[in-house]
Structure 1
Amino acid sequence: MQGIFTISLDFELHWGVFDKRDRQAREACYKNTLRIVPDMLGLFSKYDVHVTWATVGSLFAANQQEWEEFSPAIEPDYAVERYSAYKWVRQHGMSSNYQWAHFAPEEVGMILKYPGQELATHTFSHYYCLEQQREQMAFDADLKAAVKAARKFNAPMNSLVFPRNQFNPEYLKICYDNGIKTVRSNPAGWFWSPVTEGGAGFLRRVFRTADAYIQVGNVRTSYPLSSIKVTPGEPLQLPASRFLRPWSPKSELANKLRLRRSCQEIRIAAMRKEVYHLWWHPENFGDYPEQNLKSLEVLLQQYKKCKEKYGMTSWNMGEYDKYLCGNNGSKGVKQTGKVQA
Structure 2
Amino acid sequence: MGRVVISVDAELGWGFHDRSAPPERRISAARDGWATLVELFDEYEVPATWAVVGHLLREDCEPWDDLEPCPCVQSPVLAERARRYAPELVTAVRDADADHELACHSFSHPGFDDITKERARSEVVRSIAAARAHDITLRSFVFPRNRVGHRDVLAEQGFTAYRGVGPARGGSRLRRLLQTTTGRWTPPLVSPTVDEYGLVDLPDSLYLFRFEGWPRSVVESVSEDPVVRLFRRGVDAAAESDGVFHCWLHPNNVVADRDVRRLREILSVLDSRRDEVTLSTMHEVAERASAPETRPVADAEVGES
* TM-score (norm: length of structure 1): 0.76
How far apart in 2 are the matches of 1:50 and 1:297?
14
Q: Which residue of 1 aligns with 2:83?
A: 101
How far apart in 2 are the matches of 1:278 and 1:55?
16
Cα shift at 1:174: 0.8
Q: Which residue of 2 aligns with 1:139?
A: 120
Deviation digits for residues 36-80 of structure 1, max 9, x if unmatched?
423322221232222011111111122xxx2327x54587xxxxx
Residue 190 of structure 2 is aligned to residue 187 of structure 1 = no
Alpha-carbon contact 2:187-2:206 (below 8 Å) kept: no
Alpha-carbon contact 2:143-2:163 (below 8 Å) kept: yes
How far apart in 1 are the matches of 2:265 and 2:101?
22
Cα shift at 1:210: 3.8
Alpha-carbon contact 1:72-1:145 (below 8 Å) kept: no
Helix, strand or coil: the match of 1:128? Answer: coil
How far apart in 1 are the matches of 2:47 and 2:238?
17
Residue 287 of structure 2 is aligned to residue 322 of structure 1 = yes
Alpha-carbon contact 2:33-2:252 (below 8 Å) kept: no
Query: Pick from 66, 70, 73: which aligns with 1:89?
Result: 73
Q: Which residue of 1 aligns with 2:18?
A: 19
How far apart in 2 are the matches of 1:72 and 1:207?
43
Residue 232 of structure 2 is aligned to residue 301 of structure 1 = no
Q: Structure 1 residues 247, 334: CA separation in 2 closer, same or farther (over 3 Å shift)?
A: closer
How far apart in 2 are the matches of 1:255 and 1:282?
23
Alpha-carbon contact 1:213-1:261 (below 8 Å) kept: no
How far apart in 2 are the matches of 1:182 and 1:67?
28
Give the gaps of 5 or more residues in structure 2: 299-305
What is the identity, as a one-letter code, of the residue corresponding to 1:119? L
Query: Pick from 203, 226, 236: which aligns with 1:239?
Result: 203
Residue 119 of structure 2 is aligned to residue 163 of structure 1 = no
How many residue pairs are counted as aligned between the two chains? 292
Q: Structure 1 residues 296, 91: CA separation in 2 closer, same or farther (over 3 Å shift)?
A: closer
Identity of aligned residues (%): 23
What is the identity, as a one-letter code, of the residue corresponding to 1:304? D
Alpha-carbon contact 2:17-2:76 (below 8 Å) kept: no
RMSD: 2.9
Alpha-carbon contact 1:173-1:234 (below 8 Å) kept: no
Query: Pick from 32, 43, 46: which aligns with 2:43?
Result: 46
Alpha-carbon contact 1:73-1:141 (below 8 Å) kept: no
Cα shift at 1:212: 3.4
How far apart in 2 are the matches of 1:293 and 1:93?
25
* TM-score (norm: length of structure 2): 0.84
How far apart in 1 are the matches of 2:21 and 2:296?
50
Give the gaps of 5 or more residues in structure 1: 76-84, 194-202, 327-331
Cα shift at 1:213: 3.2
What is the identity, as a one-letter code, of the residue corresponding to 1:123? S
Alpha-carbon contact 1:11-1:282 (below 8 Å) kept: yes
Cα shift at 1:118: 1.0
Alpha-carbon contact 1:72-1:142 (below 8 Å) kept: no
Q: Structure 1 residues 325, 99: CA separation in 2 closer, same or farther (over 3 Å shift)?
A: same
How far apart in 1 are the matches of 2:17 and 2:77?
12
Q: Which residue of 2 aligns with 1:80?
A: none
Cα shift at 1:220: 5.3
How far apart in 2 are the matches of 1:335 and 1:35?
40
Alpha-carbon contact 1:4-1:275 (below 8 Å) kept: yes
The residue correspondences of 1:1-341 to structure 2 (distance < 5 A) are: 2-21=1-20, 26=24, 29-62=26-59, 66-68=60-62, 71-73=64-66, 86-87=70-71, 89-90=73-74, 92=76, 95=79, 98-114=80-96, 115-131=98-114, 133=115, 135-168=116-149, 171-189=150-168, 192=169, 204-214=172-182, 221-223=188-190, 227-231=191-195, 233-245=197-209, 248=213, 250-251=217-218, 252=220, 253=222, 256-285=225-254, 287-288=255-256, 290-308=257-275, 310=276, 312-326=277-291, 332-334=292-294, 337=297
Cα shift at 1:86: 4.4
Deviation digits for residues 80-112 of structure 1, max 9, x if unmatched?
xxxxx94563364955xx122211111111100
Cα shift at 1:336: 6.2
Alpha-carbon contact 2:5-2:282 (below 8 Å) kept: yes
